Amino acid sequence: MAIVSPESIIYRIVTGPLKGRTCTISEKCDDCLIVFLADSERGERARVLPGCLAELETPGWTETDRFYEPYGLEEYFKRHEGDGSNMLRAPGVAQPQALFPGDKLATGQCIIGVPRRGSNSSVLVRIDAFGWVELASRLPVALKGNGRYKLPIELAEGDTLVTGCRVFKMSYATKVNWVTIVLDKADGKIEVPSCVPLALA
């Protein structure tokens, strides 16, 4: 099982002149698919027939551009809040990009793979009980020993995440596996896998 967006699913082209190349689906036409070739440096696109693709087990791309070392909460608020580095790692909390294999979530599940890059700057994390899950890189994940956390569907107006983001209104779910949380203002909506505990202040 995986809880990832369709844009982060990687396919291999199994036949034709592009056989062996990897891609993501960009759009569906009446009789074909428009794909982005994942191994292209220039965002090359191509047309393929739907039967020419096979979904790969591992979604996303290897994370190769980690420019920051993990830092604690004090450092986060002093130097990194809002700068896009998203490498917070402190006792009981870590942003998805700062998770390591062997980390245990506050709910008891274990991280079993190195994080990967998903679409739109998201981070893909593999959890033993759920498979790959896709998270916004700025979310604070609650780790073992953290007693101040809630699952996304439990977040209520006024709750504050450990990173200082306030929940603007009650979270809600319109599809299985995903919860929409609203942070800071009405247009600050983020879809979060329902199984990931978020660290509270």
8 Å CB contact between 105 and 111 = yes
Collapsing DSSP to helix, strand or coil, 161 comes out as strand
Could you give the domains of the chain? 2-59 (2.30.30.30), 62-199 (no CATH)
* pLDDT tens string 125-151: 999 999 999 999 999 999 999 999 999
For residue 141, with 0-12 CB atoms within 10 Å meaning exposed, 13-18 middle and 19 or more buried, which class applies? buried
Each residue of 52-69: pLDDT tens digit?
999 999 999 887 555 668
| Residues with pLDDT less than 70, the chain | 1, 64-68, 186-187
> Hey, CA dihedral for 71, 144, 8, 62, is it positive or negative?
positive
